[in-house]
Amino acid sequence: MADTPLTAKKYVDGIYIPAGLLIFGTFIVKKEWTPYAALLAVLLGVWKFNSSQPKKILKPDAFQEFELKEKTIISHNVAIYRFKLPAPSDILGLPIGQHISIGANIQQPDGTTKEIVRSYTPISGDHQPGYFDLLIKSYPTGNISKHLASLGVGQTIKVRGPKGAFVYTPNMVRHFGMVAGGTGITPMLQVVRAIIRGRPTGDKTQVDLIFANVSPQDILLKEDLDQLASEDSGFRVHYVLDKPPEGWTGGVGYVTADMVTKWLPKAAPDVKILLCGPPPMISGLKKATESLGFQKARPCVTTAPIRKANGDRTRLPVIQAIICSARPAFSSEDLREPRA
């Protein structure tokens, strides 16, 4: 929506045709007034154009409250939360590849209240004005995920952003290889959808995605992914399960260097690998990709991993690492698996 071409029908019908009629009518009625009519048409056109642009709502340094409009239950601990923007034409203003921060005052075990902030990637985009969607998996020890799960329609959350160093632009690479684990699919889906939306205007980026989960029931948004793959020959998804059912034909176990070799593009100057998932998976994949000729991953996150009460380290669903194979490119944004 934010990138509507100047030849779009709304501009033709709302600006160009009325301006042309104003100038032509003035020329017929009083020819000497035509220059003034042209100037007026330009001024009105500029005003109309500016007033028709969607308003970007996000503020990077200030939390704003957004009302929960709708909650769609996906499973016992996964839901899609739709939050309303102030006006139907408003957009978040979130560049593809970046994420938002959600803050909440959470009561601690000692009875005190502490502001907790976690990062999430919406599964919606700026081409969908008026709202944004978050896919959240709730964990028993997760501060923000539990808080979101407790919200009722009409209640609000605090959001700020955008955050992140990675911004996708059309044809920035020839081929993306992606590896996602669990809710790490959310930032990948954001990029994939942007690429496919860009096909009519020349985005030729190829994408191969490895999506790792424990069981078939854990594969989030599988119908969406399969539909995108069936409709776009430039996107392929490869599923890996730790506990596959009988007759499973996809990958089995952890994502390995052999799987990367089989399904993802080979190292080349115009290839990048995006990683998003649990820290052990990311750590193993960094080593695996290095052994295959890719550059060492350079995360651009500045926040430390979240440590849970049991000592485990976890990350939220934002892109964690970009791995290049030519000279070092920009660093990537931190990707985190959601146990917040």
Is 99 one of the catalytic residues? yes
- Give the H/E segment covering residue 26: helix 17-29
Per the DSSP assignment, residues forming a β-bridge with 213 are 241
Neighbours of 111 (CB within 10 A): 6
Distance separating alpha carbons of residues 207 and 174, to the nearest angstrom: 9
Is 120 one of the catalytic residues? yes
Distance separating alpha carbons of residues 88 and 129, to the nearest angstrom: 6
User: Which one of 99, 147, 175, 238 is the catalytic residue?
Assistant: 99
- Is 183 annotated to bind ligand? no
- Is 135 annotated to bind ligand? yes
User: Which one of 81, 205, 239, 276 is the catalytic residue?
Assistant: 276
- Is 308 annotated to bind ligand? no
User: Which one of 120, 131, 168, 239 is the catalytic residue?
Assistant: 120
- Is 145 annotated to bind ligand? yes
Q: Cβ distance 137 to 112 under 8 Å? A: no
Cis peptide before 109 (omega within 30 of 0): no
And the tokens for 44? 């009105």
User: Which one of 26, 81, 121, 205 is the catalytic residue?
Assistant: 121
Q: What angle do CA 171, 177, 178 make, to 5 degrees?
A: 110
Distance separating alpha carbons of residues 313 and 212, to the nearest angstrom: 19
And the tokens for 246? 């009988």
* Beta-sheet pairing, 175-181 with 113-120: unpaired
- Is 137 annotated to bind ligand? yes
- Is 9 annotated to bind ligand? no
Greatest Cα pair distance in the chain: 83
Q: Cβ distance 49 to 6 under 8 Å? A: no
DSSP label at residue 327: S
- Is 282 annotated to bind ligand? no
Neighbours of 279 (CB within 10 A): 18
Which residues contribute to the annotated binding site?
Answer: 118, 120, 135, 137, 144-145, 186
Instruction: Please give the annotated binding residues for FAD, written as ranges.
Output: 118, 120, 135, 137, 144-145, 186
Residues forming the active site: 99, 120-121, 276
